[in-house]
A = this chain, B = another copy of it.
Amino acid sequence: METIVLKFGGSSVADNIKLNIVANKIIDFYHKKNKVIVVVSAQGKTTDNLIKEAKELSYQPDKREMDMLLSTGEQVSVSKLAILLNRLGYKAISLTGWQAGIYTSEENEEAKIEYINTERIQKELAENKIVIIAGFQGISDKKDITTLGRGGSDTTAVAIAAAMKADHCYIFSDVDGVYSTDPNKITDAKKIEELSYTEMLDLSNEGAKVLHNRCVEIAEKYNVLIETGSTFNNNIGTKINNKLEESTVKSIVKNDNLFLITLKQDNYNANMLNKLYITLMENDIIPMHLVNNSISSFYVSFTIKASDLGKFQELLEKELALFSSAFTNISRISLVGYGIVNNKDIMKNTLQILNMNSIQIHSIELEECKLSIMTKEKVNDKVLEQLHHELIQ
The chain A residues found within 8 Å of chain B, CB to CB, are 16, 19, 50, 53-54, 56-62, 64-66, 68-69, 71-72, 75-76, 78-80, 82-84, 86-87, 93-94, 96, 99, 120, 143-145
Contact = CB atoms under 8 A, between A and B. Distances in A.
Contacts of A61: 83, 86-87
A390 to B, nearest CB: 51
A68 B79 contact: yes
B64 A84 contact: no
A80 B16 CA distance: 27
B99 A83 contact: no
A58 B86 CA distance: 8
A211 to B, nearest CB: 28
Contacts of A58: 83-84, 86-87
The oligomer's copy count stands at: 2
Contact of A93 (B56, B64, B78, B80): B64
B94 A79 contact: no
A344 to B, nearest CB: 56
A230 to B, nearest CB: 23
B76 A62 contact: no
Which secondary structure dominates where chain A touches chain B?
helix
Contacts of A16: 56-57
A74 to B, nearest CB: 9
A68 B143 CA distance: 18
A304 to B, nearest CB: 28
Nearest to A77: B69
Contact of A69 (B19, B56, B62, B75): B75
Given A54-B83, A65-B83, 7 more contacts: A57-B80, A57-B83, A57-B84, A58-B86, A59-B87, A69-B80, A99-B143
A54 B57 CA distance: 29
Contacts of A83: 54, 57-58, 61-62, 65-66, 69
Contact of A65 (B60, B64, B82): B82
Contacts of A57: 16, 19, 80, 83-84, 87
A65 B93 CA distance: 7
Contacts of A86: 58, 61-62, 65
Contacts of A64: 93
Contact of A78 (B19, B56, B68, B120): B68
A93 B67 CA distance: 12
A148 B56 CA distance: 31
Contact of A68 (B56, B82, B144): B82
B78 A75 contact: no
Contacts of A79: 54, 65-66, 68-69
B94 A68 contact: yes
A125 to B, nearest CB: 16
